[in-house]
Structures are given as structure tokens and as C-alpha cells.
Amino acid sequence: MTHILFPLFVVGLLPILVSAHGYIGQVSIDGKVYNGNKPVITGSATTPSIIRQISDIDPVKGASNPSLNCGLNATMAASVATANPGSQILVYWVGGETGSSHWPHEAGPIMHYMAKCDGSCSSYDSTNAEWFKISELGVQSDNSTWYMANIMNGMPANVTIPSKIAPGNYLLRSELISLQLAVSMGGAEFYPGCIQLTIGGSGTGAPNSSEECKFPGGYSDSDPGIYDPNVYNQPLSYTFPGPLVAAFVGNDASQGGTQPSGSSGGSSATPTSGSSSPTSTSSGVPANTSSDSSSPTTTMAPSTTPSATTSGNTTTSTSGATCYLTPRSNDQVLSKREHSKKEVHKRRLIRRSS
């Protein structure tokens, strides 16, 4: 067997590199919690879930990447959850391969799309999906903080199912785009994830064809919201990529956010409706007190909770895996990008030799 050896300082960097990305760990629908499976690379056992499983926590790179629709090599999930027009959905993004830390990035948009499935979403090929946007969040009203910073602090991404939507089977696509390397073309990191739903009710709302797009196809690497040389400039401003929010969504698009409805902050996770409410763990991910019986029982709360304080345009954190939004020159960002590529390559070589 061939052994590849690296200096100890490189090995010491591996836990940070591994935890510097993430995925959807849990979803709460009107108070009912559904767990996701860990990425395939972990080798963990899988159980039925409503969240499509991805292969690795690495980002999807490039607007033409086939994995842009539902995540890196995402596979169909076995289960489908029931929701209704107006349902409140909390999407919990976690960091690291095992989901044991907070989401590590703070700069970039949070967007949600839906697409109607032909038949059950458990057997629907998402490459055929026609997506329409139902919500988008970028920069907060202070023009110095991204809504994604709340997710980095343990909050879920909230989204409301449109109150007028027609009944049927739908994929819900939750997407975070991390922009810390977006000062160079192709530097943006895409993190999409898909949730399988059956929507009830008697609505008639639907998008028109001009409001729909395919992934890949909905974005270009040169779009202002994907290639952004001014991402670190204050005050922050942002242009969302993709189509406009579908007109039939109306005011429902403004009911989303990055913390539970009625919460003033912190790591509380108290849904506004549902027969039972999940209790919060220290990471902001709800404990599995009312989960679907087919969901895996995973623990995603870290032993210590990363804390962050925001002052002006700089966020500091006790988590070593956090990406900080501090001004950098283009040369510094490009140098960091090349260094990260080399270290990730070394990590993969170590895995193959072990």
C-alpha cells in the first residue's frame, strides 16, 4: 500500500476544512420535525427522509453544474411530507459532514424555489423541474449585515408555502449562495437542497412560464448576484439572480426570515403552529420530539455553541470554521481560494490512501 504523508500542520487543518461547508440537517413543517441523512461520504446508515441526500458537503461550483438543481449528486428521498397553503417551514442548515456545528458562512443570499412533480416527488427526476421562486433574502435593513449571518448563528431559514398555491406534489428547493469568493468569476459557492412535499388545499395559484427556470440554466456565472467584485464594500447592496418571485405568491414572500416567527433572536425554535413544538438544542436545531417516525434519529447539536457578535461590517465568532466578512483585497481572496483548493485536494488524497 502506498502511504502519502503530509506535515502535521496540514493534518491539523483537516477538521476545519471538513467543517467549512454544510447541508440541510432538519426541516420543521408546522411544528413537525423531519431529519435528513448525513452526506454519503460519511458512510452513515440512511433511513427514509423527505430531504434528498447529497454525496458530500462540498459546494456546487459553476452555474452550469448539473448538481445545481438539488445539491451535490443528490438522490431521491423515500418519504414525502404533507403541507398546506400557508404552512410555515423552518429549514435548518448545519455545518460539517456530521452536522455537528453551525452553518459556517455569513455572506450571500437565501432563496427558496418550488417545482411541481409529475407524480410522487419520491420518484421525480429534478433535472426536469421547472422552478419558480417564492422568497428571497439578502441584505438586512442596516445595509451592513446579511440575513445568512443569522443562519451562521444557528437560526433556521423560514419560508411560507404560498397561500394561493394549487394542490399537488412539489419539490421545495432551499438555496444558500456563499459569496466570500465571488470577487472572482466562478468563485461563488452554491448550496441547494430539496425537500419533497404534498400540498393540500383548493388553491389555484401557479406561476406563468416567464417566472420559471431550470437548474442548471436559471443562473449565469456572470450574473451580478453571483459574480460580485464589490461584495465586501459598505454599505452592502445586492442584486438577486434568477427569476423574480412569482406574482401569485404576493405578500407570502415577505413572511419568510431567518428565525422562528415570534422569536426575538437567540436559539429558540418555537414554530407558530402544529400540534406539537420541537424544543431547541444549543445549535438552534430542534430536538426530535415530534419527528416523523420514518426520520433518522441524529444528533446535530455541537458540544459547544459558536457565539458571534456583530459590530459594523465585521463579525467575530468562537467557531474556527466560520468564514468572516471582513474586507479583503482581490489578491488576498484569490490567494485564499488557491490555498483552499490545495488543502481540499490533500484531504481527499489522505482519504484515498487510508
Nearest to 36 by CA among 213, 156, 150: 156
- Closest by CA to 159, choosing from 145, 168, 144, 170, is 170
Q: Which of 290, 181, 159 is nearest to 227 (CA)?
A: 181
Confidence of residue 61 (pLDDT cuts 50, 70, 90): very high
Specify the 3-state DSSP secondary structure of 150: helix
Q: How far apart are CA 148 and CA 191, in angstroms?
A: 12
Q: Using CA atoms, how far apart are residues 168 and 117, in angstroms rounded to an integer?
A: 8
Please count the residues of the chain: 354
User: Band of the pLDDT at 304, cuts 50, 70, 90?
Assistant: very low
Instruction: Identify the pLDDT of residue 161.
Output: 98
Pull the grid cell for residue 291: 419527528
**What pLDDT is attached to residue 353?**
53
The 10s digit of each residue's pLDDT in 231-255 is 999 999 999 999 999 999 998 877 7
* Residue 94: per-residue pLDDT: 98
| 186 conformational bin, left if phi > 0, alpha if psi -120 to 50, beta if neither | left
Q: Where are the beta strands (DSSP E) in 277-346?
A: 308-311, 314-317
pLDDT exceeds 80 at position 36: yes
Q: Is 297's pLDDT higher than 50?
A: no
The torsion angles phi and psi of 42, rounded to 5 degrees, stand at: -75, -20
pLDDT digits (tens, 9 = 90+) for 153-205: 999 999 999 999 999 999 999 999 999 999 999 999 999 999 999 999 999 99
Of residues 312, 56, 15, 14, the one with CA closest to residue 193: 56
Q: Which of 16-20, 145-149, 213-217, 280-284 has the lowest mean pLDDT?
A: 280-284
Quick one: fold of 23-329? Coagulation Factor XIII; Chain A, domain 1 (2.70.50)
Do strands 168-178 and 32-35 pair parallel, antiparallel, or not at all (unpaired)? Answer: unpaired
Alpha-carbon distance of 289 to 39, in angstroms, equals: 23
Position 20 scores a pLDDT of: 74
Closest to 151 measured CA to CA, from 138, 162, 163: 138
Tell me what pLDDT residue 286 has: 55
Q: Which has more pLDDT, 88 or 316?
A: 88
pLDDT of residue 7: 41
Instruction: Give 95-134 pLDDT, tens digit per residue.
Output: 999 999 999 999 999 999 999 999 999 999 999 999 999 9
Q: Taking the CA atoms of 213, 85, 251 and 93 in sequence, report the sign of the dihedral they define.
A: negative
Distance CA 22, CA 192 (A): 10
- Residue 69 scores a pLDDT above 50: yes
Residue 4 has pLDDT above 50, yes or no: no
